[in-house]
Structure 1
């Protein structure tokens, strides 16, 4: 028991040393916030323990250096009088306040009986003023970006206004302007299907491919439309060109397999070396399992049919009247069904054989059904393209 206690103490000591070195490395590399975070974590339990005093000193050092660096940065940014720095000033004041709030629950902290002083300051007024400055500047910036018709600038306006909404909710008409920016910045895409295969495409496949509600898309800046609206000004067109459909013949493949097993088949008397019935110690006849070899022929049948749909997805910029991107899709569907019969002793069959002999032949799917089932795979690949391609 004593050895276990000593071992646990040694393990705790090694872990503690490793944690302290991580704080020291963060401090010496100038990553003061990381050093503070790790030191605070170590001091959340038993902060008054003697082994924790090094963490208090490291926390004090990192805390003071981080504050000095932030205050110096704010002074420099204010001196420049550049409104582009308003956001950095605001966020740096918040960093100062958050740092204080992280340390405050631990106070007071002492080393060798003496309290270690952590400077505390109320930054509320500075934060409020900085928030007002950045809100006003970003508000005007957002309005200016909305004056043009370029969708990417309009989206930038939305992001600018969204920052205001995040730090200063419902500032002036921010929400109305965000709604306007979203509506004007959204790209509208008209979608159609062109059948180039000279084969009949099931109507339900076209409906499924154009039913974008089932795609589970989550694209904030793009809307796809299957039904054309004459009052809508579309930015892009996406055409799904069905280029070729290949359907294999219906195939039936057969193979014969011989199964053999050693099985118990009743009992028999055990014979001695002379061919007589063997006796046990009480003079009784000895019985034993009768093991025989059984065989069966298994006739496995596979029904097979395959469909392949080759397609292209073409994106066109309707304003520039030019193709901007093209993707190739190869989708398919395989119909396979297995069943079997056998001749011989059922006991020779394995589990797979027993499952197969329960099956029966089934009708092959029609070509129309094969094309539709291939379309399900096509739809998944089309969804991947739409999800990854940003307009």
Structure 2
């Protein structure tokens, strides 16, 4: 019984809390929040007795929101500034959307007052269409003016944003798509990519190809294009230079180490003897057997093949409009080739399991210098990718 009472109390408190928050939103002029809370609860169950207050709050919030929005629209229209058209258009859309959300809930009956809640719905379709036409023409003309008078690439980008929004609200309006393409192409910034090798080593073709594969870098910049094969008809804004300053490949080395291992191992069994040399028996008269242990020794000849490659490079960004270097970042990478094999003399049972593995290995050919440089470049690629994908020119 106590659990039922407690559960009922919790439900009542939650309901009161929801109504209180809706009332607070209404009192502070946050009519959208008040309507959202009321509509959500009424959509769940509009005939529930505890939801009567939501009907009253929704009625009041709707009336006040409509009045305020219409007043603001009238003010903006009287101002006569075409820049206000987008705000007016969105306000009309919002007014219509609110009505569309409330309409399925009707009628909403207020029990204490014996009446249905009143919602003065207005058909905003003509106002929306007329405002959209005016806004479309304003956006289009504003974009054309920007395209004509643009001094900077930012101007073309602003024109593109206007045209993009125009295409969203009024697809196919006049030559919007063609003008978007024009604005995009003129707003793009181009980066020329160059690789320079100042070392005595040859950079593997595969490594160079992968370093220049900017499609794999995940660059998320709509207004930036990297060209690894510069085009004659493109005026480049920036240059990215990848300079290999140092490539070192060590000689091939085989180092030998000798290790002597000893271990006590079981080598059969023997009878347990007492101090007098007599065989010890258990309580049943059986002779007691024990493990026979002996020490074995093994000399391990361990050979370690090693070869290393190191790359030192620098990536720099230059503004080609003034020839100034903007930023530069050092890059370094190293790769170690290591292979261990071994042979032995003596009893290999003296060796631990990890050393036994080396006995199964044999000497292998060393990687070529080209392969070593390529492997060292794997880490270099990741570092370069991180820099390029995060770099912002402005």
TM-score (norm: length of structure 2):
0.79
Shift in Å, 1:287: 9.9
**Aligned residue number for residue 90 of structure 1:** 89
Asked if 1:66 corresponds to 2:68, the answer is no
Gaps in structure 2 of 5+ consecutive residues: 274-278
Q: Which of 256, 270, 277 is the aligned partner of 2:282?
A: 277
Task: Name the CA distance, whole Å, in 2 between partners of 1:122 and 1:266.
Answer: 102
Shift in Å, 1:256: 6.6
- Highest CA radius of gyration, 1 or 2? 2
User: Cα gap change, 1:95/1:214 in structure 2, threshold over 3 Å: closer, same or farther?
Assistant: same
**Aligned residue number for residue 384 of structure 2:** 382
SS in 2 for 1:382: helix
Shift in Å, 1:358: 5.9
Shift in Å, 1:141: 0.6
User: Cα gap change, 1:197/1:286 in structure 2, threshold over 3 Å: closer, same or farther?
Assistant: same
The Cα RMSD (Å) is 3.9
Task: Name the CA distance, whole Å, in 1 between partners of 2:201 and 2:207.
Answer: 13
Contact 1:26 / 1:34 at 8 angstroms: preserved in 2?
A: yes
Shift in Å, 1:175: 0.6
Shift in Å, 1:165: 0.4
Gaps in structure 1 of 5+ consecutive residues: none
Q: Can you list the C-alpha shifts for 1:144-176, whole angstroms capped at 9, x where unaligned? A: 111135211111111111010011111111011
Shift in Å, 1:178: 0.3
Q: Can you list the C-alpha shifts for 1:19-72, whole angstroms capped at 9, x where unaligned? A: 444434444443332332233222221221112223333333333333233222
Asked if 1:103 corresponds to 2:107, the answer is no
How many corresponding residue pairs? 382
Contact 2:188 / 2:224 at 8 angstroms: preserved in 1?
A: yes
User: Cα gap change, 1:51/1:196 in structure 2, threshold over 3 Å: closer, same or farther?
Assistant: same
Q: Can you list the C-alpha shifts for 1:188-227, whole angstroms capped at 9, x where unaligned? A: 2221101123332222222222233443444322222222
Task: Name the CA distance, whole Å, in 2 between partners of 1:269 and 1:19.
Answer: 87
**Aligned residue number for residue 155 of structure 2:** 153
Task: Name the CA distance, whole Å, in 2 between partners of 1:41 and 1:292.
Answer: 83
Asked if 1:365 corresponds to 2:372, the answer is no
Q: Can you list the C-alpha shifts for 1:312-344, whole angstroms capped at 9, x where unaligned? A: 222222233332333333344444556778986
Contact 1:32 / 1:63 at 8 angstroms: preserved in 2?
A: yes
**Aligned residue number for residue 318 of structure 2:** 316
Task: Name the CA distance, whole Å, in 1 between partners of 2:9 and 2:87.
Answer: 46
239-248 vs 148-157, which moves further: 239-248
Task: Name the CA distance, whole Å, in 2 between partners of 1:252 and 1:328.
Answer: 32
**Aligned residue number for residue 236 of structure 2:** 234
